Structure 1
Amino acid sequence: MGLINSILTWVMKKRIHQIELFMKYPHDVQDELFKKLVQNGETTQFGTQFGFRDIQTYAQYQERVPIFTYEKMFPYIQRLMRGEQNILWPSEIKWFSKSSGTTSQRSKFIPVSQEALEECHFKGGKDLISIYVNNYPDSKLFDGKGLAVGGSHQINEYDSSASSFYGDVSAVIMQNLPPWAQFIRTPSLETALMGNWEEKIEKMAAETAEVNVTNIAGVPTWTVLLIQRIVELQKKNHILEVWPNLEAFFHGAVAFKPYRNLFESLIPKSDMHYWETYNASEGFFGIQDQKDSEELLLMLDYGIFYEFIPVESMDEENPRALRLSEVELGKNYAMIISTNAGLWRYNIGDTVKFTSVNPYRIKITGRTKHFINAFGEEIIIENAEAAVTKACQHTNAIIDNFTAAPVFLEKGKRGGHEWIIEFKVQPKSLHDFTRILDESLRQVNSDYDAKRKHDLALVGPKIHSVKEGTFYNWMKRRGKLGGQNKVPRLFNSREYVDDILKMIAES
């Protein structure tokens, strides 16, 4: 196996030169990609409708093609799911990733072309490994197997005559992986694609306990559950007694900082590497490219053309989008993409800020719909996660999950924020945890601080510490277990908080 590790590591590192090229010439790469995308879209029904054949410049593209939300794009996608082709993209579309970016009732189905699979999703996975082994040349990653904690897929039910399929993006990728990639991963494809999450975690725990797992890729929330179950079944103290050669956890979908202490307790290894990615149903966007960094390199040659709208302009009727060359450091932007799967000027709902423009590196700051701004406080997910992390550090707490919502003004009562937090390790003092959380939010967000001053508009936060398993049971009740499903950290209405509190009261 040492020879295999050496060969595969050498092959993966050959890609680094190409990555360095788009880091050096980002605008040329994006300009060329823009022209290629528009040319490919000329003969599609969408391209015909918006006159792609006559588009020569980015300015013309902006003028002719409006910003699309999923709701506006859905009529085109629905036709694809019913078997029509050449609607959004010229090549055949038969796979759709079922978006699980929120816990809302409505699912989103994102088209996945063969080009998107090969030039974006597969390429992103390979680049992740390339960048990792370039940072750690002595890695033994390929001496064992990678454990993928993914979702499931099933036959599309829109039309029995349409040969189209859907599933979590992780499941769509696993189903279509080339043989060499299947060889270096675990568990079996049959187990990995099981639909019942509770049955799947039992099968995965049994199947992977005897495998030499060197790395894990998955969402922190569900990876923790799997690790804990394996340790329990094997009657071990921690997962290194099962997988002694485990060296890396590749994570995404939710911020890792609040989970770090929990992972370090489950994987007590000083040189364990935690490596972040930014991939979603719509594409693979960013990869951590430096050790001990929270920044993600924006991947510019994946068949995705990027635009950015300042968050403060999002409510305008026709907000002006910016090209990559126009963005500024530290500003919050909604990300707009045009892709090689036929998403045109599509608002994916994520917000990012640039930490570097040479090369272009970003941090994910939240979702355009996941924030609290009931009183002008403009709390975003980045603020909340930073405050929770600090409160945990100062009170020796470890969290499993949390969500928060506004407490709206009533006659004789001021507004505030209500938090539901599930702790793995309780804070020494919930009072101190609440105080530090509040103080941290005031430090990182001046609008929140202004509203909190003298309890003028907001009183201090109210925290419910709930028993272990609360969020798991809530997600199960909503049919959102496993895969890339995640608890919404913030929401500007009380829909989720009230639903959880109601479930607790009924139990």
Structure 2
Amino acid sequence: MGIKSALAKPLAALVVMRINKWKNNPLAAQEKVFAKLLKKGKDTAFGQDHSFSAIRTYEDFKKNVPVRDYEGLKPYIERVVKGERDVLWPGKPKYLAKTSGTTSGTKYIPISDDSMPEHVRGAQNAMFCYIHETGKAEFLDGRIIFLQGSPVMEHKNGIAFGRLSGIVANHVPAYLQRNRLPSFATNSIEDWEEKVEAIVAETINEDMRLISGIPPWVQMYFDRLSAHADGKKIKDIFKNFSLFVYGGVNFEPYRARLEESIGKSIPSIETYPASEGFIAFQDSQTEKGLLLILNSGIFYEFIPSEEYFNENPTRISLKDVELDRNYALIMNTNAGLWGYSIGDTVKFVSKDPYRIIVTGRIKHYISAFGEHVIGEEVESAILSVAKDENLEITEFTVAPQVNPQEGSLPYHEWYVEFAKPPDDLKAFSAKVDKSLQALNSYYFDLVEGKVLQPLIMHALQKDAFREYMKSQGKLGGQNKVPRLSNDRIIADELHRMLNDKE
């Protein structure tokens, strides 16, 4: 055992003890955050516009501060981008995280001096909880890699701009910096394919023990490693690889293929980072869900997802949430986001402590006929059947086909890239359709009532989704393929690619 792993165990015990203080007093922790946010935000332009000084209770807050998405908050953010001080949070933000928006173009999410440490602390705490629970810390004695965006920052109006993963790369704790790869020069390469090749060259002969990143891009890294090592499994390239850390997407669609590439099952830690804040992390290898972080400068609100688009939806704080109900997540943060709809949906699987699973995106659904099928349902439908059939799914997306060929009923159209395809695609499709009907009663009624025909599935060629993401300038980094859409923007492009290959 090395010095770092030996020292990590007592430190992990101390960190877990601190976590337990707020974990065991969750509502008090949120009330404390709420009061601090209001106190610090009252003299900002936003605080004055929304009468923060008159707010005494959460009910007052809801009356004064409406729920907004990025577009709704954009007039304030534009003032921040131009360099104006004290707009959403005192002073100027330390960073503006650049993210890709579907309707807003590039979005700029503020990260303040107050919020920046929480982005790093959330990831550290996930790691320390794992060490404390399992007693395993030897991964700290070898090399660690974070597959992430470029750490190079732009500067304008006294603010640094960059991708979240690149921003966080500039704040990796000193005790991990010497272990960490890739080098700054390699990490700064913008072209993802060129970057992966450079990362492979730097790491293939190293003692890699912890690997972190979004699963589809980690898979790309593994594929390139294997190709450079005459087809070896990752476990034979990195003999001490013992921990995989991921976030941003559901791991299950990627698990089978990643473990096939590795050559064995690897312990993993799931995290829930976002530009808006580090929201939750997996604190246990035995309990379901992610521990919602309640003391990190974020006051959470929730709207039942089925009410989200109503004129006056129900809006609640943590104390009123129910188990197994889908909620749109609303955030108030110590970077100056107020009543901010992040766009994600979550479900509580425990209230003691408060643990969540991420179920999808509030705008990623199909309801062309009133069925309101969500991401959690399509993932569950295809993965359960694939598991029974011993098939591997690389990636997939779903869209409605509302204008089918004359004389036929409309349907849901699935585009699936298989690592291990079915012998009979139609039979597989029928089973997935039945699974989806069992999960969504509205969809069942529409198929049963002959309003929709059963789904139609297309098997895409290898690397189809990588080619699509590359064509959109979204290869690598934090970019993800939407599981489903209520329009055909992605589907039509994939269909064109499918026809081009035929």
TM superposition score category, shorter chain reference = over 0.9
2:441 aligned with 1:446, yes or no?
A: yes
Which runs of structure 2 are paired with 1:103-502 in the superposition (5 Å)?
A: 106-118=105-117, 120-156=118-154, 162-270=157-265, 272-408=266-402, 412-453=407-448, 456-502=450-496
Q: CA deviation at 1:432?
A: 2.6
Are the counterparts in 2 of residues 103 and 487 from structure 1 also a CA contact under 8 Å? no
Q: Which moved more, 1:9-18 or 1:357-366?
A: 9-18
User: How many residues are aligned here?
Assistant: 500
The percentage of counterpart residues that share the same residue type is 37
Q: Which moved more, 1:6-15 or 1:370-379?
A: 6-15
| CA offsets 1:459-492 (integer angstroms, 9 cap, x no match) | 1111111111111111111110111101110000
Aligned with 1:176: secondary structure? coil
Q: CA deviation at 1:349?
A: 0.3
Q: Distance in 1 between matches of 2:11 and 2:283?
A: 18
> Quick one: which amino acid aligns to residue 430 of structure 1?
L
Q: Which moved more, 1:179-188 or 1:43-52?
A: 179-188
| CA offsets 1:154-205 (integer angstroms, 9 cap, x no match) | 554xxx7523232221111002334333223211123223211111101111
Are the counterparts in 2 of residues 103 and 486 from structure 1 also a CA contact under 8 Å? no
> Quick one: which amino acid aligns to residue 310 of structure 1?
P
The root-mean-square deviation of aligned C-alpha atoms, in Å, is: 1.8
> Quick one: which amino acid aligns to residue 30 of structure 2?
Q
Q: CA deviation at 1:429?
A: 2.3
Q: CA deviation at 1:385?
A: 0.8
Aligned with 1:93: secondary structure? coil
> Quick one: which amino acid aligns to residue 401 of structure 1?
E
Are the counterparts in 1 of residues 8 and 137 from structure 2 also a CA contact under 8 Å? no
| CA offsets 1:211-258 (integer angstroms, 9 cap, x no match) | 211111110010000011011112242011111111111111111111
Mark the runs of 5 or more structure 2 residues left unpaired by the alignment: none
Q: CA deviation at 1:292?
A: 4.6
The residue number in structure 2 matching 1:76 is 76
Are the counterparts in 1 of residues 152 and 166 from structure 2 also a CA contact under 8 Å? no
| CA offsets 1:318-355 (integer angstroms, 9 cap, x no match) | 32310100011111110100001100010000011111
> Quick one: which amino acid aligns to residue 344 of structure 2?
D
| CA offsets 1:282-302 (integer angstroms, 9 cap, x no match) | 111111122254411111111
Q: Distance in 1 between matches of 2:107 and 2:219?
A: 26
Aligned with 1:14: secondary structure? helix
Are the counterparts in 1 of residues 146 and 211 from structure 2 also a CA contact under 8 Å? yes
> Quick one: which amino acid aligns to residue 112 of structure 1?
I
How has the CA–CA distance of structure 1 residues 292 and 228 changed in structure 2, closer, same or farther, with 3 Å as cutoff?
A: farther
Q: Distance in 2 between matches of 1:129 and 1:320?
A: 36
Are the counterparts in 1 of residues 210 and 245 from structure 2 also a CA contact under 8 Å? yes
Aligned with 1:438: secondary structure? helix
Aligned with 2:170: secondary structure? helix
Q: CA deviation at 1:93?
A: 1.0
Q: Distance in 1 between matches of 2:51 and 2:103?
A: 35
> Quick one: which amino acid aligns to residue 108 of structure 2?
F
Are the counterparts in 2 of residues 236 and 242 from structure 1 also a CA contact under 8 Å? no
Q: Distance in 2 between matches of 1:495 and 1:397?
A: 28
Q: Distance in 1 between matches of 2:383 and 2:27?
A: 36
> Quick one: which amino acid aligns to residue 92 of structure 1?
K
How has the CA–CA distance of structure 1 residues 434 and 292 changed in structure 2, closer, same or farther, with 3 Å as cutoff?
A: farther
Q: Which moved more, 1:107-116 or 1:162-171?
A: 162-171
Q: CA deviation at 1:506?
A: 4.5
Q: CA deviation at 1:54?
A: 2.1
Mark the runs of 5 or more structure 1 residues left unpaired by the alignment: none
Q: Give TM-score, length-normalised by structure 1.
A: 0.95
The residue number in structure 1 matching 2:51 is 51
The runs of at least 4 aligned residues of structure 1 exceeding 3 Å deviation read 102-105, 153-156, 409-412, 503-507
Q: Distance in 1 between matches of 2:75 and 2:400?
A: 34
Q: CA deviation at 1:310?
A: 0.8
How has the CA–CA distance of structure 1 residues 78 and 219 changed in structure 2, closer, same or farther, with 3 Å as cutoff?
A: same
Aligned with 1:355: secondary structure? strand
| CA offsets 1:65-97 (integer angstroms, 9 cap, x no match) | 111110011121122222222111114314111
The residue number in structure 1 matching 2:86 is 86
The residue number in structure 2 matching 1:41 is 41
Q: Distance in 1 between matches of 2:446 and 2:98?
A: 39
Aligned with 2:477: secondary structure? coil
How has the CA–CA distance of structure 1 residues 105 and 418 changed in structure 2, closer, same or farther, with 3 Å as cutoff?
A: farther
